[in-house]
Chain A
Amino acid sequence: MKQNNKTDSGADTAEGGQREQKLKIKDKLFNLFKVIVFIAILFIVFKIYLPRYFTTAVVVSARYAKEMIMIFPAVLLIMGLADVWIPSSMIRKHLGQKAGIRGKLLAIFLGSLPTGPMYVAFPLASELLRKKASLSNIIIFLGVWASLKIPQIGVEIQFLGLKFAFLRFIFTLISVVLMGLIIEKLVDEKTL
């Protein structure tokens, strides 16, 4: 295999990072273990003392568990792959370059990509702000990033229905654009 690690954002986190990640995984496993024990105890207590409620609870839980298992591995896989193929450096490069409608459309597109949690978006937004990227585009980007990510919308359709997901998407998109425009008017960028 060819060595094409130059675009690989994971390459700069050398062994130290890996060790740290292993520790994090250990923590997460321990967390999972605690939760499983807690739920198991809860179930046993229920089964013994409240058998009447137990059946309903288990039937409903099992139905939702099944629905989640059908969809979550795929969603997580899409997000994992997106994390690798769309590094934040790429978003940084493209966001805030273009002005006007095209800049706004680009902000919407970049925000909706299935990558990264909110705490990645804030530093990114702050950096762009310092580079004098358009404030309204940054607000739009943040709003879409938080609320309208692509795989999440699939999950929303699954659990809340197409009509609800569609309406929320449209209204939220309009709101986010309005918010961008309003905040740009309210805040004098020189005073930041």
Chain B
Amino acid sequence: MAVFINLTALAALLISIFFSPTKTKQGIKKALVKALGLAPQMLIIITAIGLVFAFLPPEVIRSYLGGEFDLFQLLFSAFFGALMMIPSLIALPLAGSLIEAGASYTSVAAFITTLTMVGFVTLPVEIKELGKKITIYRNSLAFIFAVIISLLIGVIM
């Protein structure tokens, strides 16, 4: 996958340069600013992953986020994802490390799905822009569907 993404980026870069070097420069600048914004969170997550592996033995993680199916566990992961504000670019490596450490696919799927689709922190903005009705319907439905999605993924994986 890494090779594929890098090749895509390279192709995009070359095409962009071909059509407009000025715009390409702007794009690279935007990418750098984004990278700078993400870098602190990336470092924290990388450190956190190391600490999780060092201090939490797999049995602990398995008993909280893995093992036999547990509805409470699923809802906990889903609520956690809904409350958190982590850019998904950073949450995905974290999710991968949790799987490696013994968490179940069901928990991780619930976490990622609510993290991206339900925005507890952004509720005020969403209400302001879209109104109370749509916001409440959208977020509660997204939560319900996230639970269903994670159940299905857990069964199939």
Contact = CB atoms under 8 A, between A and B. Distances in A.
The answer on A and B forming one complex is: yes
Interface of A: 1, 4, 8, 10, 21, 24-25, 28-29, 31-32, 34-36, 39, 42, 53-54, 56-61, 64-65, 67-68, 70-85, 118-119, 122-123, 125-126, 129, 135, 139, 142-143, 146-147, 149, 151-152, 154-160, 162-164, 167-168, 171-172, 175-176, 178-179, 182-183, 186-187, 191-192
Given A35-B44, A163-B157, A182-B141, A85 B119 contact: no
A171 B53 contact: no
Nearest to A155: B92
A67 B93 contact: yes
Nearest to B153: A167
A42 B55 CA distance: 14
A25 B13 CA distance: 24
Given A61-B49, A84-B27, A168-B149, A122 B129 contact: yes
Sort chain B's interface into a size bin: 35 or more
A164 B109 contact: yes
Interface in B31-63: 31-40, 42-44, 46-47, 49-51, 53-55
A28 B9 contact: no
Which secondary structure dominates chain B's binding surface? helix
A150 to B, nearest CB: 9
A8 to B, nearest CB: 7
Contact of A72 (B42, B130, B138): B42
Contacts of B49: 60-61, 64
Contact of B50 (A21, A57, A76): A57
A79 B152 contact: no
Nearest to A71: B2
Contacts of A163: 157
A44 to B, nearest CB: 13
A149 B105 CA distance: 21
A126 B131 CA distance: 9
30 contacts: A8-B26, A28-B40, A32-B39, A42-B47, A57-B47, A59-B50, A60-B53, A60-B97, A74-B5, A74-B8, A78-B5, A82-B27, A85-B27, A122-B126, A125-B130, A126-B129, A143-B117, A147-B113, A157-B1, A158-B2, A160-B95, A160-B96, A160-B99, A162-B1, A164-B109, A164-B157, A182-B137, A183-B137, A187-B133, A187-B137
A61 B55 CA distance: 13
